[in-house]
Structure formats: C-alpha cells, structure tokens
Amino acid sequence: MVLQKDKENLKTLVVGGGSWGTALAILLARNQVPTLLWARDLAQVSAMILTRRNDRYLPQVPFPPSLEPIADLEGALSQTRQVLVTVPSCGFRPILERLAGRLSSHIPLIWATKGLEPGTGRLLHEVAVELLGSGWPMAVMSGPTFAHEVAVGLPTAVTVAATESEIATRFARCLHGDTFRVYTSDDLIGVQLGGAVKNVLAIAAGISDGLGFGANTRAALITRGLTELVRFALAWGGQKETLMGLSGLGDLVLTCTDDQSRNRRLGLALAQGKRLDEALTLIGQAVEGAAAAKVVVARAKQLAVEMPIAEQVYQVLYAGRHPRQAVELLCRREQKPEYAYMGYLLNEKR
C-alpha cells in the first residue's frame, strides 16, 4: 500500500520529453508524485520551464505544479527514487548506457517504450539486464494509451509487468487515480511483445483503410493479426492471457482503429502512394512499427512462427511491394482451419 505521504517521497524522473513522456509526467505530477521531466534538447527544456507546457510534443496541456522540467540528467538521478524511460526504442540502449553506473542499485527502472531493440531484435528488458545486471528491479508499462487522452485525463487502463510484484504495485499506485487504472503482471515478455507487434499490425490496418477497403477487412486484419501476435509471443515465452489483455488485444484494437496512431497514419500514407521516408517526415514523431517490422519478421523466422501480415508490412516498407499486391497475397494464402494455431494457445509443443 502506498499512502499519499509515500507518493510524495517517490520522486520520479521521466527520461524523454516526447508526447508520451510528457503525458506520463503530467499524470504522475497530477497524482502528487514529485516529477522531473528530462529531455535531451536544452532549448526545449528551457521553453518548458518558461511556458509550463511542452509546445513541441503536447501543446495545450499545462504542467501541474509538481512537474519540473530538467536538463541535467546526472543531477536529476541523484534526487530520484524511480526512473521512467519514455524514449523510442532506438534511444533505449544509449539512454541506459548513460544511466548505468550512475543509478543506485535500489532505484527501479521502468520503461514505457514500445518496441524491440532495432538491429538485434532483443526485448528491452534483455538490454536492461545486459547493462544494469540481472537482479535490477525493473518494470514495463504498456496498454491502449494515446498520450493526449492520458494528459487531458480521459479514462485509461494499462498493464505494468515487473520483475518483483512490489515494484509493479508501487509504480501502479503512483499512476492510479480517478481516470487512470493500472493492472499488474509478471509477464514482461508478453507485455513487451504486445506493444511492439501491434505497431506493425497498425501499419497494415492503415494500409487497408488507405486503399479504401472496408470495416470487414479491418476486423479481419485485427483478428488475424492477434493470431500472429499470440503465436509469436507464446513461442517466445509470453503468456496467452497477457496477449488477450490491455497490452495485447487492447492496444491492437486502439492502434488499428484510430487516426491518433502514428503507425496507422504511416499505413494510410503508404496506401496513398507516399514513400516511406516522405511519410515518416510528414508524421514527424516516433513511428515504432517501421523498425519493428524488420526485427519482428526476422525473429519470427528464427522461431519458425508464421506471421504473414507482418511479413507483408515488411515487404511494403522495405522491398517495394505495392500495398494492393500485399493484400492480394494475404487473401490468396492457402485455405486452412481458423484455429490452426490452437496448439500455441494450449501451450503445446509443435
């Protein structure tokens, strides 16, 4: 149990001043958790101190009094009781390399990043274990959460999975409030894979809608996408219940169906004939599914898991396949029983 007094003692450092880091810092501070928000760009930090908003990534949402933007990462670490990393997956290792050696061993590391390590395809907790050591208290939060909706206080629910239940419970209490609900879990693998793979599938949903296909197609993509996600996560050691929960199905539905999603918007732009680099520049924010498509497809091959939708997204992004042809190829796949993947759901060996 974390009392209000304890929350006030749980000064939290949010590392990453993008839309998600800012929304979470606002949420924590609104819950009376003293919160430091670090961004790598000094000019951005100075502007946030001056205007008490993040005009670059989350305009219109004022900072609560207990939120303090900060430019000195090392100085911030010396004051903090827990660290929440919110940079995109490409920045995860570099940030942890800066934190390692400066972070005291009892300070939990939590991240809200959704992705695998670009290049290696490793889970982010594997990167964290490599850099901080295996006994380090760590947790990941994930779920259906658009930053703006969280920042303005619309009701939202997430999952926090941790190496120790006490870490998850303590962090959950810091986030928990009238409009924010946190469920805890011990399935770090499942929670991370849900967040990483849904981004790839949201690109597929965007492509489908951008091509003018209908609600039937979108529902089929989400459902068959979930099948791929479950197969992949079970083969990796995740738990099926996790994939049916907020960090799996919940986030998949959210991201595939609403244009607040940057991954979905990437798919829409590709379907309209934009090149990948053009579309990414236009969106101008983290689009994790673009990097995730590469490593998810490579990992699926290693694990001998079929992921036809992710494979087609990869082909459109990196092999010049026309989006319309990708959809045709998916439809023309050999006929099979819907539950051919049931062995995975029952945790049977293939």
Ligand X SMILES: NC(=O)C1=CN([C@@H]2O[C@H](COP(=O)(O)OP(=O)(O)OC[C@H]3O[C@@H](n4cnc5c(N)ncnc54)[C@H](OP(=O)(O)O)[C@@H]3O)[C@@H](O)[C@H]2O)C=CC1
Ligand Y SMILES: O=C(CO)COP(=O)(O)O
Binding of ligand Y by 35 (CB under 6 A): no
Binding-site member from 34, 115, 190, 206 for ligand X (CB under 6 A): 115
Q: For 267-290, give one letter per residue: b (16+ CB within 10 A) or e.
A: bbbbbeebeeeebbeeeeebbbbb
- Strand 138-142 relative to strand 109-111, pairing: parallel
Distance CA 215, CA 218 (A): 5
21 binds, among ligand X, ligand Y, none (CB under 5 to 8 A by kind): ligand X
255 binds, among ligand X, ligand Y, none (CB under 5 to 8 A by kind): ligand Y
Helix (H) or strand (E) holding 142: strand 138-142
- Strand 156-162 relative to strand 138-142, pairing: antiparallel
- Do 308 and 330 meet the contact criterion of CB atoms below 8 Å apart? yes
**Strand order from edge to edge, sheet including 180-185:** 67-70, 35-38, 12-15, 82-85, 109-111, 138-142, 156-162, 180-185
Q: Which stretch in 68-76, 92-100, 259-267, 270-278 sits in contact with ligand Y by CB under 6 A?
A: 259-267
Question: Looking at 198, 294, 301, 349, which residue is catalytic?
Answer: 198
Tell me whether residue 198 is one of the annotated catalytic residues.
yes
Binding of ligand X by 70 (CB under 6 A): no
Helix (H) or strand (E) holding 68: strand 67-70
Closest CA to 263 of 281, 290, 284: 290
Cβ distance to ligand X smaller for residue 17 or 341: 17
Distance CA 349, CA 230 (A): 14
Closest CA to 75 of 102, 107, 101: 102
251 binds, among ligand X, ligand Y, none (CB under 5 to 8 A by kind): ligand Y
Binding-site member from 261, 279, 305, 323 for ligand Y (CB under 6 A): 261
> Is 20 among the annotated ligand-binding positions?
yes
Binding of ligand X by 94 (CB under 6 A): yes
Binding of ligand Y by 16 (CB under 6 A): no
261 binds, among ligand Y, ligand X, none (CB under 5 to 8 A by kind): ligand Y
Annotated binding residues for NAD(+), as ranges?
A: 16-21, 147, 262
Annotated binding residues, as ranges?
A: 16-21, 40, 57, 114, 143, 145, 147, 198, 251, 261-263, 288
User: Which residues in this chain contact ligand X in the complex, by CB under 6 A?
Assistant: 16-21, 39-41, 57, 86-91, 94-95, 112-115, 145-147, 285-286, 288
Annotated binding residues for NADPH, as ranges?
A: 19-20, 40, 57, 114, 147, 262, 288
Annotated binding residues for sn-glycerol 3-phosphate, as ranges?
A: 114, 143, 145, 198, 251, 261-263
Active site residues: 198
